[in-house]
Structure 1
Amino acid sequence: MNHRPAPSSRSRRAVAAVMGAAAALVLVSCAAEPAEPPASFGSFDEVLAEADGQTVDLWMFGGDAQGNAYVDDVLAPAAAQEGIILRRVPITDTADAVNRVLSEIQAGRTDGSVDLVWVNGANFSTGRQAEAWRCDWTDVLPNMDLTDQDDPLLLNDFGTPVDGCEAPWHKAQFTFFYNSATVTDPPTTLQGILDWATDHPGRFTYPAPPDFTGSVFLREVMLSEAGGAEKVPLAYSEEAFDEHAPAALDALDEVAPSLWRAGATYPRDEQALNTLFADGEVDIAMTYGPATLTDLVASGALPDTTKVLTLGEGTVGNASFLAIPANASDPAGAMVVANLALSPEQQAAKADPRTWGQFPVLDPARLDADQKALFDDLPASPVVPAYDELSRNAHGELAADWVPALDEAWRQAIPGPR
């Protein structure tokens, strides 16, 4: 038997860690002399005039080759036509950008080295708690009118209200995929996947939380065990954790002996899981970035028998955003880049699977005929279905505070070296 601490003691430790980190961040933000409030712009024409000639440093995850190429070869040249130099700053983790912003604010710098950040989830929430983001600027962007103002994925970022503190960039959908050469009758529910794993020992696994993909899978299991996403409150609380987390941990504990290497070890991240899938060691895998599957199959990194597995109850989806630090050196230029990134031309270019394949955030009902044609003319992916199909019955992310609490509970509850 695996002996785990009582849920209440797990949750109290997790809450203490989360609250302690948030308090430390607030102290960091308040330790410096208050900076002057950022200048506001009454119109986008004022933004354009101020932005001319500025250099915008976009800090973003550098491990996505397609994303890097899109920014360097498509977005940056378009920004240059607006009189802006867009400089991509590659980082290994978005938290690196947030930490830089916080440290510079603490030092009293009003000419921060970070102008724009590709961000969402806990990193955005951290910045909000520390008042590190510029807010109330997205309404000035003309292209925001092309988005659905009531889209819940664009209004809340892992439960944190966006409130004009970041501009949407693209959408993502947690997605399972399988090898159709070895799985002839794929499961269609999350519980079905766990049952399949039990019936096919050694042929399934998932990345170990707190890896991003493994962490999402853990949350999906919790939602499934609860009877659906609507059963779990969006906001984190000890009471909700104690009610819903134990069933998920029990389910994963029960299936562990049937996993790859009998659950003695877990892949460190999504890339490691993809390697196991490509080498034929597992038959089902997962990603929060299904846009990458088209290129991975085309390049031979994944087998050409790879197929997407959609679940009847849907999976979790979210949106990625572009945020401007409160102390950015060139906020006007950053606003122009964010508006440009929302243009139909850029959204369509980014949606092309040959470029990056990311799902657009624009509302088709708000596009004119020529703008719609940009998307209609895109080649269909032979691997990834259209977003409408992939996101059927989708549910939004839980509040960011759920993430560290569940990850820590998993670490304590699930046996085996990791």
Structure 2
Amino acid sequence: MIKKLALIVIIVLSLSACQSESSESAEELLQKDWSEIEESAKGTTVRMYMWGGDDGINRYMDEFVAPRLKEEHDITLERVPMDTNEILQKLFNEKKAGKEKGTIDVIWINGENFKNAKDNELLVGPFTEKLPNVQKYVESESLDIQYDFGTEVEGLEAPWGKVQFVYFYDEEKIADPPKSFGELKAWVKENPGRFTYPEAADFTGNAFLRHLLYEEVASPDELLESGFNEDLLESGEENLWSYLRDIKPYLWREGKTYPSDLTELDRLYNQGEVWMTFGYNEARAESLIKNGNFPKSTKSFIMDSGSIGNTHFLAVPFNSPNKAGAMASINYLLSPEAQLMKYDSTYWGENIALDPGKLSEEDKAKMESMDRGASVLPPEELAEKNLPEVDAKYVNWIKEHWINEVVKTD
């Protein structure tokens, strides 16, 4: 009899857990108080699908976030590595097929991917107004929080972090790094085979090309003011393509092939085949130096013309089986504890999504005392040279034209 009762209890608890992850609609959930949402999240599993190409980021999630979510909120976090465009394709197919219960609870997203997700109604929201840490610590009136690559956020995603595009180089090989695209062209020609960039379909490769777009086609202010402007592109695009065709023969492997992504570019830098790499996150080299993946002599620089700053976000898919758990997890990821550990270069090193002025005095002091490492530029220099992102349509335009204008030319 006792064994039967125990079995019944186990079955009831299992069914209860399943129900908490699947039966509630987004509309019903968003009507609840936060305490009820948090209670519903306890004892559940959250599957977070995200880009997995950075070891420091992966270790931050696996070694810091996951244990604390389990300990402090009784949530089991499963990190699933997948490129964002593949995540969106999966969600789009499920939406088309009417699949109301999927497998993804949280996605890391921004830019054109967010625009596509919003346009195709793939996300739950608005949900950010329910998160206590957004209300308490995020400067919601800031334009980089309200807009994502020109697309209005409208509560469909919560800011997770802020990064800035920087170049990394080996100071034992490069004494004086270039500070303009004119100097970069000259340097590339003087050092054939020692520079390249990822293809335009890659997030980082496209960012490098957008900097050149600002330089050769139109200023960020002009591009921001007019949105996606084909007239501007037509009047200046030849400058962009001419620059890239001009340096092509002097690139790694004479420009006959390009790294497919940032991971491959980093590998080439580590092996000494190229002498520079780059990317969003001004502090990402620190963990790579400590792990032996980058030379200890790695330093960073930005162009005098500036570098693009980028805010990235977290969202909940329309068919998340555990929306309460997803929201509770995102709220934790926006806590000062999680954000300050992300700021520390031990794992990730990127800037926080929170307003530093809203932190407690203790957390402010903790942030100010952190040594982000010798490869990280001073925050004042980064802030002075920060450039905005522009309409996500420019990302697609670069992708579509780069192949014909650069890759397929002799």
TM-score, normalised by the number of residues in structure 2: 0.86
Residue matched to 2:84: 94
Residue matched to 2:20: none
Residue matched to 1:396: 388
Residue matched to 1:345: 337
* Residues 349, 372 of structure 2: 8 Å contact kept: no
2:260 is the alignment partner of 1:268: yes
2:141 is the alignment partner of 1:150: yes
Moved more, 105-114 or 165-174: 105-114
How far apart, CA to CA, are the structure 2 residues paired with 1:205 and 1:191?
16
Matching residue within 196, 199, 204 for 1:205: 196
Amino acid at match of 1:344: P
* Residues 169, 300 of structure 2: 8 Å contact kept: yes
* Residues 41, 47 of structure 1: 8 Å contact kept: no
Give the superposition deviation at 1:37: 5.9
2:215 is the alignment partner of 1:230: no
2:372 is the alignment partner of 1:380: yes
* Residues 55, 333 of structure 1: 8 Å contact kept: yes
2:125 is the alignment partner of 1:127: no
Amino acid at match of 1:236: F
Shift in alpha-carbon separation, 1:243–1:302, aligned structure 2, 3 A: same
* Residues 26, 323 of structure 2: 8 Å contact kept: no
Residue matched to 1:4: none
2:171 is the alignment partner of 1:180: yes
Give the superposition deviation at 1:65: 2.5
Moved more, 107-116 or 135-144: 107-116
Residue matched to 2:14: none
Structure 2 counterpart SS, 1:204: coil
Residue matched to 1:53: 43
How far apart, CA to CA, are the structure 2 residues paired with 1:138 and 1:246?
42
* Residues 41, 75 of structure 2: 8 Å contact kept: no
Residue matched to 1:85: 75
Shift in alpha-carbon separation, 1:336–1:203, aligned structure 2, 3 A: same
* Residues 223, 229 of structure 2: 8 Å contact kept: no
How far apart, CA to CA, are the structure 2 residues paired with 1:190 and 1:131?
40
Amino acid at match of 1:49: E
Shift in alpha-carbon separation, 1:83–1:366, aligned structure 2, 3 A: closer
Amino acid at match of 1:60: M
How far apart, CA to CA, are the structure 2 residues paired with 1:65 and 1:139?
32
How far apart, CA to CA, are the structure 1 residues paired with 2:26 and 2:108?
23
- Larger CA Rg, structure 1 vs 2: 2
TM-score, normalised by the number of residues in structure 1: 0.85
Give the superposition deviation at 1:343: 0.7
How far apart, CA to CA, are the structure 2 residues paired with 1:262 and 1:298?
32
Shift in alpha-carbon separation, 1:113–1:412, aligned structure 2, 3 A: same
Give the superposition deviation at 1:226: 3.1
Amino acid at match of 1:38: E
Shift in alpha-carbon separation, 1:76–1:388, aligned structure 2, 3 A: farther
Matching residue within 78, 91, 94 for 1:104: 94
Structure 1 counterpart SS, 2:234: helix
Structure whose residues are more often helix by fraction:
2
* Residues 133, 324 of structure 1: 8 Å contact kept: yes
Structure 1 counterpart SS, 2:351: coil
* Residues 345, 374 of structure 1: 8 Å contact kept: no
Give the superposition deviation at 1:416: 5.7
* Residues 84, 333 of structure 1: 8 Å contact kept: no
How far apart, CA to CA, are the structure 2 residues paired with 1:36 and 1:292?
39
* Residues 154, 319 of structure 1: 8 Å contact kept: yes
Give the superposition deviation at 1:220: 0.8
Structure 1 counterpart SS, 2:304: coil
Residue matched to 2:27: 38
Give identity over the alignment, percent: 33
Residue matched to 1:64: 54
Moved more, 299-308 or 193-202: 193-202
Specify every segment of 5 or more residues in structure 2 that has no aligned partner in the other structure, as ranges: 1-23
Match runs of 1:211-250 below 5 Å: 211-226=202-217, 228-233=219-224, 235-250=227-242
Shift in alpha-carbon separation, 1:329–1:229, aligned structure 2, 3 A: same
Shift in alpha-carbon separation, 1:386–1:146, aligned structure 2, 3 A: farther
Give the superposition deviation at 1:366: 1.0
Amino acid at match of 2:377: P
Shift in alpha-carbon separation, 1:246–1:41, aligned structure 2, 3 A: farther
Structure 2 counterpart SS, 1:414: helix
